[in-house]
Amino acid sequence: MAGQGFVYGIAAAITCAIQLTGYAVAYSLKTETFYDILGGVNYLALALWSAIAGSIDAPLNWVDDPRKILVTILFICSRGWLLIFLAWRAHERKGDSRFDEVLGKGGGQPQPFGFFVFWMAQAFWVFLISLPMLFVNSSQVNKPGFSAFDIAFAILFCAGVLIEILADIQKALWVKRGRKGDFCTDGVWAVSRHPNYFGEIFQWWCLFAFSYS
């Protein structure tokens, strides 16, 4: 089986390759359109890589290891939603104002290093968030079943994903209705100022706990 260090190293190389290529193409075109999309694609590429690497000379092949299958499916569902939502949002907004200054869209001077920092921050974030999934898929420990601890944190992870999805949809509908009021208070936004961030952070703490078990 490929060692965990090897799996992490190739995952880091894949991440750097995707983000550096994205930066080079995006800066040459002076666009941020596919910034978020490549973040989502990067997550899915790491899931595929770790599933393949985790099957090489492993005690259990990936397809025979329920813990690896579950953590990969949970990861893909979470990141798949993020990819779909951010791609839709980028299309709806026809751009992202975060990048206006570094791309010189307001008439200023383009800032290639500032734009590069955005892409490297995304590379770091993608790799960090992927670590629990990479750890489980590259593990040489033979644990064919689920413990109560596993089941509890898998359920909590799903709850975090659901909260994030509800928050994203409710906020998007509120924006489409004209942003009535000073701040969105629909649905889960009535009980939290940033329920989408809560769902995102909560699910990753749960997956870290699942991988630890």
pLDDT tens, 52-65? 987 776 666 777 88
Tell me, what's the pLDDT at 54? 76
Tell me, what's the pLDDT at 104? 81
Query: In whole angstroms, what is the distance from residue 81 CA to residue 94 CA?
Result: 20
- One-letter identity of residue 82: L
Please check the confidence at residue 5 and state whether its pLDDT lies above 70: yes
Task: Kindly report, residue by residue over 15-54, the tens digit of the pLDDT.
Answer: 999 999 999 999 998 888 888 889 999 999 999 999 998 7
On whether the CB atoms of residues 18 and 38 are closer than 8 A, the answer is yes
What is the model's pTM?
Answer: 0.87
On whether the CB atoms of residues 158 and 70 are closer than 8 A, the answer is no
More confident of the two residues 103 and 188: 188
Please check the confidence at residue 131 and state whether its pLDDT lies above 70: yes
CA distances from 167 to 80, 91, 111, 162, 200 (A): 16, 19, 33, 8, 10
Sequence-distant (6+) residues with CB within 8 A of 51 are: 62, 68, 72, 137
pLDDT above 70 covers a percentage of the chain that reads 96
On whether the CB atoms of residues 43 and 75 are closer than 8 A, the answer is yes
Q: How many CB atoms lie within 10 A of CB 170?
A: 19
Query: In whole angstroms, what is the distance from residue 41 CA to residue 14 CA?
Result: 11
On whether the CB atoms of residues 211 and 71 are closer than 8 A, the answer is yes
Q: What's the mean pLDDT when you consider all of the chain?
A: 89
Tell me, what's the pLDDT at 120? 96
Q: How confident is the model at residue 182 (pLDDT cuts 50, 70, 90)?
A: confident
- Three-state DSSP state, 98: helix
Task: Kindly report, residue by residue over 66-123, the tens digit of the pLDDT.
Answer: 889 999 999 999 999 998 998 888 778 776 778 878 888 877 788 889 999 999 999 9
Please check the confidence at residue 166 and state whether its pLDDT lies above 60: yes
Tell me, what's the pLDDT at 1? 53
